[in-house]
Amino acid sequence: MLYGRDDERAVIDRLLGESRDGRSGLLVLRGEAGIGKTALLEYAAERAEGEGARVLRATGVEYESGMPYAGLHMMLGRHLDGVGALPDPQARALRAALGMGGEGGDRFLVGLAVLTLLADLAEERPLAVLVDDAQWLDGPSAEALLFAGRRLRAERIALLLAAREPGEFRAAGLPELRVTGLDADAATRLLAGRAPELPRHVHHEVLTEAMGNPLALLEFPGTAAGSSAYERIRRSFAAQLAGLPEPSRLFVLLVAADDLGDVGVVTDAAARLGASVADLEPAERAGLLRTTADGRIEVRHPLVRSAAYGDEPLRRRLEAHRALAAAYGERSDGCHWAFHLARSVTGPDEEVARTLEETAEAERNAGGFASVAAMYESAGELSPDRGERGRRLAAAARAAADAGLAERAVELAARAEPELADPVARASLTLIRATLADEQDRTKEAYRLFADTAAAVADADPMTAGYLFFQAASAAANAGDLAAVQGIAERGAGLPNGHHLAALARVFSGQNPLGAAGSADGVAALRELIDGMTHCFGARDRVRAGMWHLMIGDVAGAEEHAARLERRFRDEGAIGLLPSVLMLRSRTLVFLGRHREALTAATEGLRIAADTGQHRIRVYLETVLALLAAIEGDEARCAELTAEALARGVPPSDVHAAAARSVLDLGAGRHEDALRRLAGVVAEPNRMGSISSLPDLVEAAVRSGRPDDGRDAAAWFAEWAAQVRQPWAGAVALRCEALLGPDEKAEDTYTRALELHRESKVPFERARTELLYGEWLRRARRRNDARAVLHAALERFERLGAAPWAERARTELRAAGESLGDAAAPDDLAARLTPQELQVVRMAATGLSNREIGAQLFLSPRTVGYHLYKAYPKLGVASRGELARLPLG
């Protein structure tokens, strides 16, 4: 019976009820040790099983928190026959993670595989997934579960995780329930039921000492006072353990030392130490051990584990690990065998270290990089020789990086570096640290690390040095430090990739809006970099090549490049790389006027970036959505989406945020605000996002009555446009010229601009040119000519959903003598759907199954079905067969 937990039970009942009704949910229970989290999980298990749901359970094990995917092993061990039904990339990732063979891949694919496998299990009946002591889950298991939990929607899954408060378990953005102490009435009733014969003064003392902690109330009677509640509870369990026969205590120790609790393994290990199955009974009668429905042995409460393992002599713990290692070795479970083997020795042991390294290499062939990292780490710690210790810790760092465990990789690299004498070996570790610093916007730290390490290995390994110098220059460019870019290029001259370094320096000397000299050289360098990166560099560099396409104004080329990468990353299941390419693609789609697709891509990228902890890309994607909001005139949304980027002040996101707000200002007629904001943007040297803002500055300056403030920007943009030779850029340069030039040349200039616009597909810029030309014609009293041009602008703005700009065109038309009614809302089927619904519907219209769509969009098949169910009535259809006939773009 649970005393005083009506509110908590109601929350759990609601979560389980929603899973029965087809809606998934997640809840984190937070509270101190003994506060009742485990009891609430027991309540959830009983309710779920009583209502016909399937229950999966796992418990974090403090002594095995460094064993990758131990938690998933515990949870999914009985259901791994379903892995074969997963989409191939997910199946390979999960097999590799669990040591079942297969190729390793994007670590987030493991979380998606967990979601799909759980969703498959929930097809037969609702599923409750219960995790106790989540603060002790190994990092990869916790990451996979949280990734899956964030993407729960319609799978009929209830996920409950209990964690200590305070604790290391981070679940930002997920719903939490704080479990606090019992009130006085509930505590009194619980204690009375537990110890009805307790003298009144002792009863009062226990209530006071326990402070509403239920486990303390259950365990305090009969224990000595004068210590913390935690210690007294632990002492109570230790006393119960001490009362068991020696062979029974051995069984409890073995269960406490292991994570899986497999009956066969535990009894085998016990037999090696002289105990038999019959010795289990006293521990079970005392309530210290229990056998679960799926055939595992587990401790009654996590604090039993703490007492059983922590209070045993070291000799007994080492014997237990040796016995467990032998039992796992006979079952060919290399991961668990290696884990227990490492814990069966007390100090450096080269033989064990060598055995762990051999096991790690076998695990590498199966793709389990997280396990490889853990084994190499243990091998390093057990290495007597300093050089071998450094080499093995370095291997652990590289494996952790391959597994996507960036922070772990950095920690291991920092430990390995002092042990290594070889500068080339140390350079590979610095690359890990610098890459993480760059991804976390610590760009100055990053480029210094890259450059200093490159210089240190230049003689021994010129190829590595050249690549490190290139990464240093790229990071310096992101930091807006032109002097550093040039200095790094000079240091790397003559090395492999030195020509790329020189090109990068030329790019940034030529791409400075306030120093136009060298723009031709800069554009040539960009073309050189695009070619080099496309063919010679890794996946992230190929995304960067797409950004270079934008820098030379090749919007269509950037979109095609991004679309190819997106297809590749989806096919490979590279979900961790997808946000960066969606960042690029969504920005190009805005340029091309495909705003609905841009919204869909940016929204998906934003969601994945948030789920995978890629904060820089998340902020950048917010600025893409902010630009869409600005074009549509949604002031509140634009302000919300740009707030973090502007507060952080890290380029290029802050530049794009300021640019988005400037577009909003221009659309609303706040020209002086736009001019003031844009002047700050282009005044900063080497800011990559300032190119597209220069025409906005020119328009803002002219409309503010300060045309001279826009002349430098117009001149630089015109020079850049001449070098990149893109029709849309040439058209916009002519538009700036018409705005600033004398009236007698304006018409010819506008006309030439519109001719160039017809050669490109950048509709928003074309409509803006038409609007400005129409305004000029009206002021010249050529109303008929003005109306024709303004109608074209209005039609384009309305098609783009650019409400404030469309209203400007309508205002001009009225001023030109045309009578206009209110704008009619376009009947756009795609606009009726959320971005994710539109993605799902478009894929379903091509004939893809829910499972195939889920694999592409990193959703469960049931969530795909949910989105289709929501979309059908909005589109006026009843089945997926009707979707192919709809105009969805």
- Which class is 511-714 in CATH? mainly alpha
Assess contact for 619 and 648: CB atoms under 8 A.
yes
Q: Which distant-in-sequence residues (6+ apart) come within 8 Å of 238 by Cβ?
A: 307, 311
Question: Which pair of tokens denotes residue 317?
Answer: 């713990």
Those residues with Cβ within 8 angstroms of residue 172's Cβ, 6 or more apart along the chain or in another chain: none
pLDDT of 515 reads 47
Predicted local distance difference test score (pLDDT) of residue 225 = 46
DSSP classification of residue 158: E
Q: What angle do CA 589, 593, 595 make, to 5 degrees?
A: 65
Distance CA 369, CA 375 (A): 10
| Neighbour order of strands in the sheet with 127-132 | 54-59, 127-132, 157-164, 25-31, 176-178
Residue 4 corresponds to which amino acid?
Answer: G
pLDDT at 651 (0 to 100): 74
| 374: amino acid identity, one letter | A
Residue 197: CB atoms within 10 A of its CB come to: 6
Rounded Cα distance, 773 and 88, in Å: 55
Intrachain domains 423-510 and 511-714 with the same fold: yes
**What span, in angstroms and rounded, lies between the C-alpha atoms of 428 and 465?**
10
Instruction: Locate 6 and state its tokens.
Output: 């009506």
Contact by Cβ (8 Å): 553, 724? yes
C-alpha pair distances (Å), 506 with each of 61, 326, 473:
55, 62, 12
- Establish whether the linkage from the previous residue to 652 is cis, with ω within 30° of 0: yes
Nearest CA to 826 among 792, 788, 800, 807? Answer: 800
Pick the closest to residue 245 from 271, 273, 283 (CA basis).
283
Tokens of 761: 């597909």
CA angle in degrees (0–180, nearest 5) for 261-265-269: 110
**Number of Cβ within a 10 Å radius of residue 490:** 12
Distance of CA 662 to CAs 645, 666, 765, Å?
14, 6, 15
Contact 875, 829 (CB under 8 A): yes
What's the pLDDT at 430?
81
Longest CA span, the chain: 106
Give pLDDT, residue 226: 44
Which residues of the chain are modeled with pLDDT < 70? 63-66, 101-106, 166-168, 201-202, 220-230, 293, 363-368, 404, 441, 508-519, 533-538, 683-689, 821-827, 889
Report helix, strand or coil for 365: helix
- Report pLDDT digits (tens) over 739-779: 999 989 999 999 999 999 999 889 999 999 999 999 999 99
Give ∠ CA 821-826-829 in degrees, rounded to 5. 165
Residue 108 is predicted with a pLDDT of 84
- What is the predicted pLDDT for the residue at 827? 63
Six token digits for residue 509? 């000397």
Long-range contacts from 224-233, C-beta under 8 angstroms, 24+ separation: 229/34, 230/32, 230/33, 230/34, 230/303, 233/33, 233/34, 233/303
DSSP 8-state assignment for residue 858: T
Class level of CATH domain 6-178: alpha beta
Do strands 297-299 and 289-291 pair parallel, antiparallel, or not at all (unpaired)? antiparallel
Identify which of 404, 196, 867 has the alpha carbon closest to the alpha carbon of residue 206: 196
CATH of 830-885, one of 3.30.360.10, 1.10.10.10, 3.40.50.720, 1.10.260.40: 1.10.10.10
Q: Retrieve residue 190's tokens.
A: 């619980």
C-alpha–C-alpha distance, residues 163 and 149, integer Å: 15
Strands 176-178 and 25-31: what pairing? parallel
CA dist 311 to 119, 237, 252, 299, Å? 41, 11, 12, 15
For 98, residues 6+ apart whose C-beta sits below 8 A from its C-beta are 69, 72, 73, 76, 80, 368
Specify the pLDDT at position 66: 65
Q: What pLDDT, in 10s, does the model give residues 223-234?
A: 544 455 567 777
Peptide bond into 214 cis (omega under 30): no
Q: Where along the chain do its domains lie?
A: 6-178, 184-222, 423-510, 511-714, 726-826, 830-885
Tokens 């949604």 sit on residue: 634
Taking residue 294's Cβ as centre, other Cβ atoms within 10 Å add up to: 12
Task: Give the pLDDT score at 886.
Answer: 87
How far the first Cα of the chain sits from its last, in Å, is: 58
Q: The domain 423-510: what is its CATH number?
A: 1.25.40
Instruction: Tell me which H or E stretch contains 194.
Output: helix 184-194
Cα–Cα distance for residue pair 595/868, rounded to 1 Å: 22
Cα-based torsion angle of the residue sequence 146, 152, 158, 159 in order, rounded to the nearest 10 degrees: 0
In CATH terms, 726-826 corresponds, of 1.10.287, 1.10.10, 1.25.40, 3.90.550, to 1.25.40
Q: How far apart are CA 617 and CA 622, in angstroms?
A: 9
Which are the contacts of 356, defined by CB distance < 8 A and separation ≥ 6?
A: 338, 341, 342, 375, 376, 378, 379, 382
What pLDDT, on the 0 to 100 scale, is given for residue 224?
44
Helix (H, G, I), strand (E, B) or coil at 451: helix
pTM: predicted TM-score of the whole model, two decimal places: 0.80
* Overall size of the chain counted in residues: 889
Count of C-beta atoms within a 10 Å radius of residue 494: 11
Tokens of 520: 């031709």
For 256-298, the three-class secondary structure string (H helix, E strand, C coil) is HHCCCCEHHHHHHHHHHCCCCHHHHHHHHHCCCEEECCCCEEE
Q: Residue 562: enclosing H or E segment and its boundaries?
A: helix 555-572
DSSP state of 441: T
